[in-house]
Amino acid sequence: MPEVRHWDLLIGGEWRSGSERIDVRNAYNQELVGSIVRAAPADIEDAVGVAQRTLRDPFPSHERYSVLMSAADRIDSAAEEYALLIAREGSKTITEARREPPRAAGILRLAAEEGRRLSGRTLPFDIRPGSENRRGYYVRKPAGVVAAIMPFNDPMAVAAHKVGPALAAGNSVVVKPDSSTPLTVLKMAEDLYACGLPAGRLSVVTGHGSEIGDALVTDPRVRVVAFTGGVSTGERITRKAGIKKLILELGANSPVIVMPDADLEKAASAIIAGAFAQAGQNCLGVQRIFIHSAIYDTFSDRLCDLTSALKAGHSLDPSVDVCQMIRLAEAERVEAWINEALEGGAIVRAGGRRTGAVVEATLLENVPAGCRLQCEEIYGPVAGLYAFETLEEAVARSNDVDYGLHAAIFTESLRDAMYAAENLHVGAVIVNDSTDYRLDSMPFGGTGRSGIGREGLKFAVEAMTETRVVCFNL
């Protein structure tokens, strides 16, 4: 195993120690992976202050591009080191973790390219009588200080999705990683500075969100808050942030609809991967599986066979499909939600057991209306099976939650696919693939309690800028 490293705070490019530390441990066996400083509000004050002062210094587009592209190359060269760190501190199998560094490198490259494409346009002032002698244009300017608050589930990719566009647009960034998975983010920041990022453009403050989160989101010098996480925290941010831009990705309860004419083997494989990857701790994960009654028995049996074949265990075991959840308390919560559904009449078709922080991949049938598994985001390796008679019914039931991130339909009918695309109230409708499909350049976000705004490189870069109009009266 790699050496255990004890990380300090990164304030504007300089490492700062602290009197209190937090251990970072693997949830499967409590192995010590590293430690971080427990930051205080005063550290946030300093980080935001450095970030604001740095905005006065030139950071031209070609320098931003060079830093991001060089960092992407550096990440590629250290991909296995990153993957091992992700699997040790987080909640991904080593196989899943190995996919994240190349994805993060690709995100940084996309951000660099979008930063070079930032531009304005001329404005036709002569459309208004009396303005015939006016000429002008608008440009895009950096919004200022961006606060980026991370979840644990994709620490590297989400960091790239927030830090990359922020820097590409010319901003400075203060990052607050999840206290369960801060080490990957700290290493990324270290690599960005090694690639020539100007001092002060990036800070990483670690610790408990309950202790330092308010200081970060309420600071008036912060102009953009980009947050990925739970609904309750997102609601707290909207109440406290004040007048600033918010980009909030808050989760989902994603439905999949399977029609009788679908390629059922393709659908089954995609649904299983979508429901149980990352131990189900994926905002795009499949949670509700609507199966047409004509194929319900056959298809649900196939899903159960595939689910039962998944191996649960330690994230570093390459043969494991479903690893430990991020914390024992989360596994216990998921178990409690399963038991609530069972008490209401649900039936376990596959899985259903917990061992320590590991919850088996689980499929439930007859999930009662109103229980948390049906209404809320489980954020664990659990999905429900539901029969339906008509597509209209399936779409209506899919929409019958307060979330709207992604939905999917498996069908060979263009008419049915278009009906779903027009009537599912979500940020994306995926046809013939799982809800967890995402292209990093596409607009990403949802409706209702799934959040505010859109990520995706072009959209995030624009969201992290302000337009400035210049008008000449000739």
Tell me which residues are annotated as active site: 249, 283
Output the six-digit token pair for 77: 């060269």
Residues 6+ apart with CB under 8 A from 343: none
Spatial distance between the Cα atoms of 56 and 51, rounded to a whole number of angstroms = 10
Residues 6+ apart with CB under 8 A from 406: 252, 254, 284, 426, 427, 428, 429, 430, 435, 436, 437, 438, 446
Cβ contact 471:308 at 8 Å: no
Spatial distance between the Cα atoms of 421 and 419, rounded to a whole number of angstroms = 5
Output the six-digit token pair for 431: 């046809």
Beta strands in 357-420 (DSSP E): 358-359, 362-365, 382-388, 403-404, 406-410
Spatial distance between the Cα atoms of 229 and 415, rounded to a whole number of angstroms = 35
Rg (CA), the chain: 23
Nearest to 375, CA basis, from 399, 396, 408, 358 = 399
Cβ contact 100:154 at 8 Å: yes
Element holding 358 (H helix, E strand): strand 358-359
